[in-house]
Structure 1
């Protein structure tokens, strides 16, 4: 009641003001509002700068600690790696900067940018300290270490015909028998093998008898449990998947460009599937891929899992009510209802790498813009959305291939059909500018 009476009194007094006093009053309110806005904006700018400074300081200390961690061990002769001599000599600046916090990969405690031997590199480690990766109190014999590395590789490529003794040793530049390694080389490889991304990068980052096309950036060097891969600057960006006819005018991409990227994704997927590696991409996002020389590379393989691991993870979920309860990240499971609580299983015909690329990249229903612009909204997006009407029948065929149930035995042929379709659209003589 008191507040209402006070408000009524203020309104009565304002009603008695002259036109001149009204203008003064409104002008004063506007000045107060603008001043408050500028102060708030300044405060937010200071906070942002402080955050950037803190990230820079954290990065600087991280680089110093990383160098200290490996170089002390290297000087004592405990670790090996072709990156160590330059990194620890002090004469060459290997680590130069840190990516922004948004680009830090899932599962990585350390990621730095740098240059080495005239190549731009990304240096990674699952953990800053090696003691956080392995228990140094557990002493393994040479034979136990070799068997352990074999077991890790076998698990990472479970169900394939890949020789588990194969692993390219970066400091040799080729595959060697593990038994021929020195103790410090074997121990360094043992810690590196604790990071699945390192295993997949050494395998998919170069051309081999099993891998005819590079699918990941190449491993260039290692030092202890740190490893360096080639830096791929042309990462897929948010605006690459936003059509030019969307309401978000700041980010837009022509249909011809989006079609070209889609074609590259399908070729990437064809090589991944035709190699019979039995691997699942369980967290497909545009910023986990990059383009190089007209091909797609997976720059973050932390979410790459063997099919058997995905299946076991889904089946080990205790109970479920709906299908979504059985999901392993973005790999979909299926709930089988029962009176005592449903059980989870996987249906390989209803979910696959192709399905995830279709729903997360090609035909995205809605994307939130709140993290990109000040106003928040939902927009339709996707590499194959908002197409010219002249391509409607072709895009419809692609969408049908994406949405239908695909048997495992038909996966490669389905991808090949989609490659041929996108290639046919690209070969049209009239402009692809929608």
Structure 2
């Protein structure tokens, strides 16, 4: 009988120890879960809520711009209307992330978009010359052209030994300026030249109709034309009713927009001294004007050939390591290096992401079985699956084939309209159901 209580006591101690361990484990898990939850809240606050697009914060940012304008720190052709006469009317914040600010406004009644890569003017590097230059001395227009050209070449990744320079119209206006540039003008220009998207738009707007136009600037903020942007959730991609001022039916509009995409792809490949690569092709990054011209409105991920090669030529173990968004190359497993030559093209990605869903049988409905529509679907599919590679003849032949088919469909639609076949108007979400 003696050992019985001893064994019972041991059992109780063992159970107590086990319960204690379980309680400790539960407490530790509860503490860890609470720690993860609280840190998650902090992360959400810092990364999401702090970058939340609010009207109050946007207005405060513009107020700071105006304060610095009144202090003489910055200037621009937009400043007087923004800060003095009230000709710039704030509408809403469109986008705010990591300091990049995009604001919708009306400038003298015209819709515009105000943009800046960084929120504050002081966040941009100052022009080094201003720190060492005698305040009494001023740079001549030719000096400004020289330094601006160097900065633009650096921003676009162009060869310094080439003949690239400021675009003709922009450079001419800067050279013909009758007076030297003030420190505020130089500081403002320098902040703009540090924004790759501004440089792209400003340089290319004199050379291409397929980029958004820069209308003015104030300090580090610049205004571009407000256009009807695309939407991934809309089967039409663009809100056709917003550009229905022309004499076109919905069928005509779809084909004209597709033809403009083809024209843009061809011109970005051939119109400049270097091929221009678009590495983020999606509906939201394009817009259309009232004449149905397709316009690239977000070119943060656009690169000329020299810079594209530098980006692609990275270390790799397989082809997946050589994908830079929509721009892809091939991995050389012998050297573990990605090829600097892009395998796909702007047109191929447009066919994949824009044309293939756009001209799918599901959206075309009963018209999908018509011979021209079938030929177009096949051409789009072949375009989407054909890499650019070393042989450029086949992709170019596909481009001509798409151009031919879309032109025939456009003429066919125009002829049927003249013959009174149908009198369809422009209706949201139904433009492709013809």
Please confirm whether the aligned pair reaches a TM-score higher than 0.5, indicating the same fold: yes
Change beyond 3 A, Cα 1:182–1:137:
closer
Is residue 78–residue 184 contact of structure 1 (8 Å, CA) maintained in 2?
Answer: yes
User: C-alpha separation between the residues in 2 aligned to 1:263 and 1:166?
Assistant: 27
Task: State the shift of 1:173 in Å.
Answer: 10
Match of 2:410 in 1: 426
Match of 2:323 in 1: 327
User: C-alpha separation between the residues in 1 aligned to 2:118 and 2:92?
Assistant: 16
Choose 215-224 or 131-140, whichever is displaced more.
131-140
Q: Deviations over 1:77-114 (max 9, x none)?
A: 2322111111111x4152412244xxx28776211111
Task: State the shift of 1:408 in Å.
Answer: 7.2
Change beyond 3 A, Cα 1:140–1:259:
farther
Match of 2:379 among 397, 411, 414: 397
Match of 2:15 in 1: none
Q: Are 1:274 and 2:270 an aligned pair?
A: yes
Q: Secondary structure at the match of 1:325?
A: helix
RMSD of aligned residue pairs (Cα, Å): 3.7
Task: State the shift of 1:194 in Å.
Answer: 0.6
Match of 1:358 among 348, 351, 364: 351
More helix by share: 2
Correspondence list, 1:226-237, <5 A: 226-233=221-228, 235-236=230-231
Match of 1:94 among 62, 84, 88: 88
Match of 1:214 among 209, 215, 234: 209
Is residue 241–residue 383 contact of structure 1 (8 Å, CA) maintained in 2?
Answer: no
Match of 1:78 among 62, 65, 73: 73
Q: Are 1:127 and 2:124 an aligned pair?
A: no
TM-score (norm 1): 0.67
Task: State the shift of 1:345 in Å.
Answer: 1.2
Q: Secondary structure at the match of 1:240?
A: coil
User: C-alpha separation between the residues in 2 aligned to 1:106 and 1:346?
Assistant: 31
User: C-alpha separation between the residues in 1 aligned to 2:251 and 2:63?
Assistant: 46
User: C-alpha separation between the residues in 2 aligned to 1:235 and 1:124?
Assistant: 18
Change beyond 3 A, Cα 1:315–1:108:
same
Change beyond 3 A, Cα 1:347–1:263:
same
Match of 2:194 in 1: 194
Change beyond 3 A, Cα 1:294–1:92:
same
Choose 422-431 or 113-122, whichever is displaced more.
422-431
Match of 1:299 in 2: 297
For the pair shown, which has the larger CA radius of gyration, 1 or 2?
2
Task: State the shift of 1:278 in Å.
Answer: 1.9
Match of 1:110 in 2: 101
User: C-alpha separation between the residues in 1 aligned to 2:217 and 2:168?
Assistant: 14
User: C-alpha separation between the residues in 2 aligned to 1:152 and 1:137?
Assistant: 12
User: C-alpha separation between the residues in 2 aligned to 1:356 and 1:420?
Assistant: 19
Is residue 285–residue 298 contact of structure 2 (8 Å, CA) maintained in 1?
Answer: yes
User: C-alpha separation between the residues in 1 aligned to 2:117 and 2:391?
Assistant: 33
Q: Are 1:290 and 2:252 an aligned pair?
A: no
Task: State the shift of 1:283 in Å.
Answer: 0.5
Choose 117-126 or 131-140, whichever is displaced more.
131-140
Q: Secondary structure at the match of 2:263?
A: helix
Change beyond 3 A, Cα 1:196–1:416:
farther
Unaligned runs of 5+ in 2: 1-47, 134-138, 238-249, 422-431
